[in-house]
Structure 1
Amino acid sequence: MKSFLSLMLGLALVTPLTHVANADEAADRGLAIATDRKQRDAGWNNSESAVTMTLRNAQGEESVRKIRSKSLEVADDGDKGLTIFDEPRDVKGTAFLNFSHIGKPDDQWLYLPALKRVKRIASRNKSGPFMGSEFAYEDMSSFELDKYSFRYLGDETVAGHDCYKVEQTPLDKFSGYTRQVVWLDKDELRVHKIDFYDRKKSLLKTLTLTDHQLYKERYWRAHTATMVNHQTGKSTVLQTEDIRFDTGLTDDDFNQTTLQRAR
């Protein structure tokens, strides 16, 4: 099997960028594409999934974790998420609670069973690594339009998909990214690739999303998410084995009390 870095480098078959008349047009079109992306994914309600997280260091050594994830769509605000670690033993019982928001910083908490306490993740620390992975805490939040400004960059082909290329710039001053470049296919607006640029404006990471599957005849979910850190050579793969929708989750399943009781 090729390394994930090799696969990443071979993904993009680039075609010339479509001409954009001016900055205002690029911003308007970028926002329109992002808005359409968000609207197409509205109404899914709630879901639960089983995920395998594989961490690889620069030498290719692996460690594997088993995770359960619960998500709740919230009207007029960002989504809520609960992530529970089941394996291996040293992380079993660790749980992460995320409240994404529109127009204000997200709320995030981490329960550490060894300490038997809940740790709040401060806004200025959300660029830090999530449980030692190549995903940051801010990557664990839901996609919300008010968190970014947008700019359409053109069209490119990625892994055989004709895609829009859109730059999204985080508005949060504590974000670890100066910008993100997103490739979405024109047919379904599924995200296939995101480049993340650090505070020095250098390419930091690339997220590749593959194996998209359709649920409820409307909602696309990528079953494989591969985050490669170009500066360290490390990578993290999230492999989703199962997703179930409409499982009866409510607000009562997403609070600090349930965080500590998560099993």
Structure 2
Amino acid sequence: MRWFIIIALLFPLGAIAADDGRGMEIARTAEARFADYADQRGEATMVIRTAGGDEARRDLRARSLDTDSGSRSLTIIDAPPDVAGTALLTHSHDQRPDEQWLYLPALSRVKRIAAGNRAGAFMGSEFSYADFTAQSVDKFDVTLLREDELDGEPVYVLERTPDNADTAVYSRQVAWLDQTHYRTLRVEYYNKAGQHLKTLTADGFREYANGQWRADELTMTNQLTGGTSILRWREIEFDNGFTERDFSVDALKRVR
């Protein structure tokens, strides 16, 4: 798994620091620490809230596999019944464009998601399809904006701009990483017009037996509409023995 997911994660007062290549160095360190495992699986509940207070829930399972050239992930919706069986397959690549497919059980059909449609909402949430792709450092120019504090914790504030702006969903991202474990605590996403579109916050970090840190809760807030989507994770397990065959398009058709 590359830095960072969803399926990966203010108000700084510090002065802007000279970068001198430190941003990319910090990003590569974070990526290496996050990717130090073979595969991962977990279950979550997604709570989707509109600014007006309407609420919907989705129960889902997710699994991922680290590969030599990127990563693969599969997200499966289990509830409610009207969307159960819907599944999103992602092949993230370090050096070439990512690929995504959506399985629609009502039609028994696999639909390839075009690059131009990855800004679309996944299952009506504030998470886009693009948010389910791994963010390889090699696809970005990363700059250290400053060292600062977030909720009393020393952090690095990094700006990530895509190498290929034409195909990227976001024009830039600003991420807050803690200086001890390099965990992503907060990310601001900016659209092509330069507007602050969304903010991701990660809470309830837990260290697992293999030294991996994961947040129990990820909250994506739409700064323009006021809508929020919360992913609450449980039962995360590592090194399950997955292979690339478990993340093929044919496997997507057999999702249960």
Percent of pairs with identical residues? 40
Alpha carbons 2:178, 2:185 under 8 Å: kept: yes
Alpha carbons 1:127, 1:174 under 8 Å: kept: no
Which among 89, 96, 102 is matched to residue 94 of structure 2?
102
Residue 118, structure 1, aligned to residue 118, structure 2? no
Supply the distance in 2 between the matched residues of 1:105 and 1:69 (Cα, whole angstroms): 22
Which among 67, 74, 77 is matched to residue 67 of structure 2?
74
What is residue 137 of structure 1 aligned with on the other side? Answer: 129
What is residue 3 of structure 1 aligned with on the other side? Answer: none
Alpha carbons 1:127, 1:175 under 8 Å: kept: no
Alpha carbons 2:17, 2:147 under 8 Å: kept: no
Deviation at 1:140, TM superposition (A): 0.5
Supply the distance in 2 between the matched residues of 1:88 and 1:159 (Cα, whole angstroms): 36
* TM score, norm. by length of structure 1: 0.90
Supply the distance in 2 between the matched residues of 1:108 and 1:203 (Cα, whole angstroms): 25
Supply the distance in 2 between the matched residues of 1:197 and 1:216 (Cα, whole angstroms): 35
What is residue 16 of structure 1 aligned with on the other side? Answer: 14
Question: SS of 1:49's equivalent?
Answer: strand
Supply the distance in 2 between the matched residues of 1:137 and 1:113 (Cα, whole angstroms): 18
Residue 56, structure 1, aligned to residue 49, structure 2? yes
Deviation at 1:221, TM superposition (A): 0.9
Residue 43, structure 1, aligned to residue 41, structure 2? no
Residue 232, structure 1, aligned to residue 225, structure 2? yes
Letter in 2 for 1:59: G
Supply the distance in 1 between the matched residues of 2:96 and 2:210 (Cα, whole angstroms): 33
What is residue 221 of structure 1 aligned with on the other side? Answer: 214
Supply the distance in 2 between the matched residues of 1:169 and 1:132 (Cα, whole angstroms): 26
Give the aligned length: 246
Letter in 1 for 2:55: E
Deviation at 1:27, TM superposition (A): 5.7
Partner deviation per Cα, 1:192-221 (whole Å, 9 max, x = no partner): 000001110010000001111112342111
Supply the distance in 1 between the matched residues of 2:59 and 2:66 (Cα, whole angstroms): 24
Q: 1:245-256 to 2 correspondence within 5 Å?
A: 245-256=238-249
Letter in 2 for 1:164: Y
Partner deviation per Cα, 1:35-89 (whole Å, 9 max, x = no partner): 11111123310111001011001112210110000111112x1110000000001
Dislocated runs of 4+, deviation >3 Å: none
**Per the alignment, do residues 19 and 43 of structure 1 end up closer, same or farther by CA in structure 2, a change over 3 Å counting?**
closer
Which among 26, 32, 35 is matched to residue 33 of structure 1?
26
* TM score, norm. by length of structure 2: 0.93
Deviation at 1:105, TM superposition (A): 0.7
Unaligned runs of 5+ in 2: 1-9
Question: SS of 1:40's equivalent?
Answer: helix
For the aligned residue pairs, the C-alpha RMSD in angstroms reads 1.3
Deviation at 1:18, TM superposition (A): 4.9
Deviation at 1:17, TM superposition (A): 2.1
Question: SS of 2:22's equivalent?
Answer: helix
Question: SS of 1:156's equivalent?
Answer: strand
